Amino acid sequence: MTNIAAPAQKQLDAYNSRNLDEFMECYSETCFVEDGAGNVLMENKEAMRKRYELLFAESPDLHCRLVSRIVLESYVLDEERVTGSRGSKEERHVVAVYKIENGLITHVRFLY
């Protein structure tokens, strides 16, 4: 049996070390990212790479702390606390819902 949460954990570790290549390895070419209302934030892996490259460059203290994780079939729901985004001192409370297919994240919905 495959560890369905493995890509979510790997991308979290890469996010916290701001390792863009390892982070992007976790996503399918056609992945897309939405907000809680279903508005598309990024439509593919290339758009994600550009956005996260800038975020990582502008956020030397960026850190995401995993509060809790639920795995349900092909979904991983992570409750997270994010700090250091673009120099912000505020902590953001986020729930990320990852759809995992064939060992890659194909869809993300952020609730915040």
What pTM was estimated for this model as a whole? 0.95
Strand ranges in 13-91 using DSSP code E only, listed in sequence order: 27-35, 40-42, 63-72, 75-83
Q: Token digits for 64?
A: 């995401």
Q: Which amino acid is at 96?
A: A
In whole angstroms, give the CA distance from residue 95 to residue 59.
20
pLDDT tens digits along 69-105: 999 999 999 999 999 999 898 999 999 999 999 999 9
Q: Which fold has domain 6-111?
A: Nuclear Transport Factor 2; Chain: A, (3.10.450)
The domains of the chain are located at: 6-111
- pLDDT at 2 > cutoff 80: no
In whole angstroms, give the CA distance from residue 71 to residue 104.
15
